[in-house]
Amino acid sequence: MKKVFLFTFVLAITIVSCKNEKSPFSGVSEKSTSIEGKLVLTDSLVYGIATRANENADSSELIEFNTFLQGKLFDYVFNQLYEGKLKAYDFLSDEELSIDDVKAIEKTNGFIRSKVGKVQFNEQWFIDKNGNLLKKVNSMTLGVERFSKQGTFVGYNALFKIKFNTTAQ
C-alpha cells in the first residue's frame, strides 16, 4: 500500500511539474524585461579588447590575433565615417567631430590605422525568449598605442568614439 501511495504521489508531482512550464524570465521584475520581451542583462557593459599584439604580448596572445580582422574593421569604420553613415565623437567632451576633423586625425604625424591597438566597446546584453544571448553595440572607442620616450609600450590613448543606433533590436 505504501508503494502504491508513493508511486501515485511521484506520478502526480511529475505531471504537475511537466505542465508548469516556467518562462526564462520567471523571478525577474517586469522592469528588467522592458525591451520587446527581452531580459536585459546590462544596459551599458564596457570592456576593451586589444586588436593587435604589442611588445608585452606573450606567444599565446599572438595566436589570438591571427583571426582578428583589424584592417577590415577599421577600414569599414573610417569608410562609414567618410560616407556620413557613422559619426565620430570626441572621447572627452562627447562633441561630434566633422568629417574634416576625422581626416585631420588620420593625417596626424605618425598615425596609421594599423596602430589602432585597442577597441573599447559599450554594449547592451539581452536574453531573448528562446534563451539566446544577444548583444547590441552602443559605441566603440578606438585607442592608439602610446609609447614612452624610450620606445616602450605604456598603454593606449583614445582616438575618438563612434556611436551606433542604440535602439534595441
pLDDT grade, residue 48 (50/70/90)? confident
Within a domain: 13: no
- Higher pLDDT pick, 38 / 136: 136
Strand partners, 88: 97, 162
Of the ranges 28-32, 92-96, 136-140, 154-158, which one carries the lowest mean pLDDT score?
A: 28-32
- Higher pLDDT pick, 14 / 68: 68
Could you list the residue range(s) of the whole structural domain that residue 66 is in?
27-163
Range from 47-56, 94-103, 158-167 that averages highest in pLDDT: 94-103
Average pLDDT of the residues in 82-103: 94
Average pLDDT of the residues in 72-89: 92
Within a domain: 1: no
Within a domain: 39: yes
- Higher pLDDT pick, 139 / 66: 139
Query: What total number of domains does the chain contain?
Result: 1
Within a domain: 5: no
Within a domain: 123: yes
Within a domain: 169: no
Within a domain: 19: no
- Higher pLDDT pick, 16 / 117: 117
Handedness of CA 69, 73, 79, 82 (dihedral sign): negative
Within a domain: 168: no
pLDDT grade, residue 6 (50/70/90)? very low
Average pLDDT of the residues in 86-106: 94
Q: Which long-range contacts (CB under 8 A, 24 or more apart) does 10-18 make?
A: none
pLDDT computed for residue 84 by the predictor: 92
